Amino acid sequence: MSTPVAAGTLSASSPAAARVRARRWRGRLAALRESTPATVGVAIVLAWVALAVLAPLIAPYPPNANDMAALGHTTPSKAHWLGTDHLGRDLLSRILWGARPVLVIAPLAVLGAAALGSLLGLAAGYYGRWIDLTITRTCDIVLSFPVIILYMIILAHFGSSAWNIIGVLTLTKAPIIARIVRGMTLDLREREYVAAAKMRGESALYIMLVEILPNARGPLVVDMCLRTGYNVIIIGALGFLGIGLPPPDPDWGGMVKDTYGMMMVWPHMALFPCAAISSLVVGFNLLAVGLRELGLRD
């Protein structure tokens, strides 16, 4: 830190730098195809995104419409490809519509956690001393709490809505991100370009956000992928426990909760939503495995 080396650093905003960055991104997307897990993962996730976006167009029925005539034979048929649930609602339509809340809430909560966690981790790693101690200890306390119990307490008290779920997911995942970013900041703050920025008289906030954070993004991206998958699992679990998104709008976990008691008679009602949520999480996790492989190869 005591040896200032300022000359020759590429300014982040120059057009040359922008071109280099664009080329690097294109290269990275091409590289993604080199890893089979990453390719499969991206394909699954994109397929679900497309289905969710197109749900209003391609879903054969409104998600909450009851088809009383179908109640006699709820199993898959020509009219209802995946059958109907115990209230005569078309399962395919509900699964397609059910992809929408999950694909909004899970990534939003990850972005929230990444933003909050990065700030905390940067501050802890950059300033050190009592700021570091306070942040690390607070994170440890949150992390030591079994999160599902925390969700139960909070959601049972405040009622559950999409925003509440995003809130608790953000607050409980931020410490994990903070821990990762802190570790990398401790290493990165000793680099020469940080010393150079300090010599230029840049503010601490600038150094943290512009000099340090972009260099910590690799592991962060892999972790965000994993977190998104876990968030999908948790949103499903909350729905299954009856403290997820309020009915009657379709929610994969909630659909399983309503119907798994009837498995001896109609297993398809619980099986299809389970398959849907599992495939989406598999997609995110394969993507994470692939990204990690590609990251290690560089």
Partner 1 sequence: MKRFFVKHLLFLLLTLFAVSFLVFTLNEFSPGAVARKVLGAYATQEQVDLLTKQMGLDRPVLVRYVDYLAALASGDLGYSARFKLPVKDVIFKHLANTALLAAIAFACIVPLSTLLGVVAGMREASRLDRVILMFSTVVASIPEFALGVFLASVFVVWLGWLPGTATLVAGGGWSVAAQLVLPVAVIVLFDSGYVVSMIRASMVEVMQRPYIRTAVLKGLPFRSVILRHALRNAMLTPVTIIMLQINYLIAGVVVVETVFAYPGFGRMMLEGALYKDIALIEAGALVAVFLAVVTNILGDLAYMLLDPRIRA
Binding map of partner 1 across residues 46-75, x = CB under 8 A, - = no contact? ------------------------------
Cα–Cα nearest to 243, from 148, 116, 179: 148
Tell whether residue 206 is a contact of partner 1 (CB under 8 A).
no
Nearer to partner 1, 38 or 194 (CB): 38
Tell whether residue 111 is a contact of partner 1 (CB under 8 A).
no
Please state the closest distance from residue 167 (CB atom) to partner 1, in A: 13
Tell whether residue 277 is a contact of partner 1 (CB under 8 A).
yes
- Binder of partner 1 out of 25, 81, 158, 206 (CB under 8 A): 158
Tell whether residue 297 is a contact of partner 1 (CB under 8 A).
no
CA distance 215 to 213: 5
Tell whether residue 141 is a contact of partner 1 (CB under 8 A).
yes
CA distance 41 to 290: 8
CA distances to 117, 123, 143, 223, 291 from 178, rounded to whole Å, are: 4, 9, 11, 12, 21
Tell whether residue 178 is a contact of partner 1 (CB under 8 A).
no
Phi-psi region of 10 (alpha: psi -120 to 50; beta: other; left: phi over 0): beta
Tell whether residue 37 is a contact of partner 1 (CB under 8 A).
yes
Tell whether residue 140 is a contact of partner 1 (CB under 8 A).
yes
Please state the closest distance from residue 202 (CB atom) to partner 1, in A: 36
Residues between 230 and 269 with contacts to partner 1, criterion CB under 8 A: 233, 236-237, 240-243, 253, 256, 260, 263-264, 267
Tell whether residue 31 is a contact of partner 1 (CB under 8 A).
no
- Binder of partner 1 out of 20, 156, 199, 204 (CB under 8 A): 156
Tell whether residue 125 is a contact of partner 1 (CB under 8 A).
no
Please state the closest distance from residue 7 (CB atom) to partner 1, in A: 37
The two tokens of residue 193 are 């370009």
- Binder of partner 1 out of 47, 131, 171, 274 (CB under 8 A): 274
Tell whether residue 21 is a contact of partner 1 (CB under 8 A).
no
Tell whether residue 218 is a contact of partner 1 (CB under 8 A).
no
CA distance 19 to 9: 16
Which residue ranges make up the site for partner 1 (CB under 8 A)?
Answer: 37, 137, 140-141, 144-149, 152-158, 229, 233, 236-237, 240-243, 253, 256, 260, 263-264, 267, 270-271, 274-275, 277-278, 281-282, 284-286, 289
